[in-house]
Amino acid sequence: MQKLVPSSLSRRDLLAASTASLTGAVLAQAEDASPEETAHADAGTAMRPPIRAQVSFTVNDRPRELDLDTRTTLLDALREHLHLTGTKKGCDHGQCGACTVLVGGVRINSCLTLAVMHQGDAIITIEGLGTPENMHRMQTAFVKHDGYQCGYCTPGQICSAVAVIGEIEAGIPSHVTPDLTGTPELVAEEIRERMSGNICRCGAYSNIVDAITEVAGSRA
């Protein structure tokens, strides 16, 4: 899989990403599974005790080992098990982007991925980008440009923004890139299209684009 590396993340952040473990084995055996795949939950499967599995990955450089119900999403692992609540749950269905985190430097929606699928991964959340005392410059730019209102979409916007700059620099095209064989430019239109998976109902878009543009510009 292609790794998109936002250059503001250190190499160290990304090291573990390529070592996705192959230790995978059958972690538990189905005892009484339902043959009808599309049917409603039948009591048989639903009554099964939770099936647990171990997974280890790093979050913001810190190694974490978790013993989880296999059903736990990466988002819930972060929020409910590691108490890293900076990553938000807006919809739990991939429809808003509030849960955006960086896995191996690549931005994804953490609500639509299982924690157990991240064995060996390096995960960066908003808490890993910066702290109130030591903010990442994307965070500083969001404050300066008032790129938020209620703040709920904000961690997702910021994680996405950091990745978007990396994606453009890596030459990944977007829907609005005029020439597919050329190199995409760091312009507002590109930023808007690429940020469109992060909904801000407060409507801070115009300011968010200003913040990203400032950070992107200062890198050039």
Partner 1 sequence: MTPFTYERAGSPAEAAAAAARTPGARFIAGGTNLLDLMKLQIETPAHLIDVNGLALDTIEATKDGGLRIGALVRNTALAADRRVRRDYALLSRALLAGASGQLRNKATTAGNLLQRTRCPYFYDTVQPCNKRRPGSGCAAIGGVSRQLAIIGTSEACIATHPSDMAVALRALDASVETVQADGAPRRIPLAEFHRLPGDTPHIETVLEPGELITAVRLPKPVGGRHIYRKVRDRASYAFALVSIGAILHEDGSGQVALGGVAHKPWRVEAAEAELPRGAKAAAEQILAGARPSRDNAFKITLVERTLAAVLAEARG
Partner 2 sequence: MKFDRPATQNPIDRLKVVGQPLDRIDGPLKTTGTAPYAYEHHDVVADAAYGWTIGAGIAIGRITRMDLAEAERAPGVIAIVTADNAGLLGKGDHNTVRLLGGPDVQHYHQAVALVIAESFEQARAAAGLVKIDYAAEPGVFDLTAAKGSAIAPEPNELTGPVDTRIGDFAAAFAEAPVTLDATYTTPDHSHAMMEPHATLAAWEGDRLTVWTSNQMIAWATADLAKTLGIAPENVRVVSPFIGGGFGGKLFLRADVLLAALGARAARRPVKVALQRPLIANNTTHRPATIQRIRIGARRDGTITAIGHESWSGDQPGGGLETAVSQTRLLYAGANRMTAMRLAELHLPEGNAMRAPGEAPGMMALEIAMDEVAEKLEIDPVEFRIINDTSVDPENPERPFSARALAECLRQGAERFGWNRRDPRPGRTRDGRWLIGMGVAAAFRNNLLITSGARVRLDGTGQVTVETDMTDIGTGSYTIIAQTAAEMMGVPVERVTVRLGDSDFPVSAGSGGQFGANNSTAGVYAACVKLREEIARRLGFNSEAAEFENGEVRSGNRAMPIAAAAAEGDIVAEDKIEYGDLSERYQQSTFGGHFVEVGVDIATGEARIRRMLAVCAAGRILNPKSARSQVIGAMTMGAGAALMEELAVDTRRGFFVNHDLAGYEVPVHADIPHQDVIFVDETDPMSSPMKAKGVGELGICGVAAAVANAVYNATGVRVRDYPITLDKYLDRLPDVA
Ligand X SMILES: Cc1cc2nc3c(=O)[nH]c(=O)nc-3n(C[C@H](O)[C@H](O)[C@H](O)COP(=O)(O)OP(=O)(O)OC[C@H]3O[C@@H](n4cnc5c(N)ncnc54)[C@H](O)[C@@H]3O)c2cc1C
User: Of the candidates 78, 89, 194, 204, which one interacts with partner 1 according to CB under 8 A?
Assistant: 194
- Say how many C-beta atoms besides its own lie within 10 A of residue 43's C-beta: 9
In angstroms, give the least distance from the CB of 29 to ligand FES. 31
Q: Is 196 in the site for ligand FES (CB under 6 A)?
A: no
Please enumerate in sequence order all residues whose Cβ is within 8 A of that of 78, keeping only pairs 6 or more positions apart, or say none. 59, 84, 85, 87, 101, 110, 123, 125
Coil, strand or helix at 24: coil
Taking CB under 8 A as the criterion, which residues in 146-205 touch partner 2? 146, 148-155, 158, 176, 188, 191-193, 195-205
What's the gap between Cα 212 and its chain centre? Answer: 18
Taking CB under 8 A as the criterion, which residues in 79-98 touch partner 2? 79-80, 83-96, 98
User: Of the candidates 162, 165, 200, 211, which one interacts with ligand FES according to CB under 6 A?
Assistant: 200
Q: Which is nearer to ligand FES, 8 or 149 (CB)?
A: 149
In angstroms, give the least distance from the CB of 214 to partner 1. 20
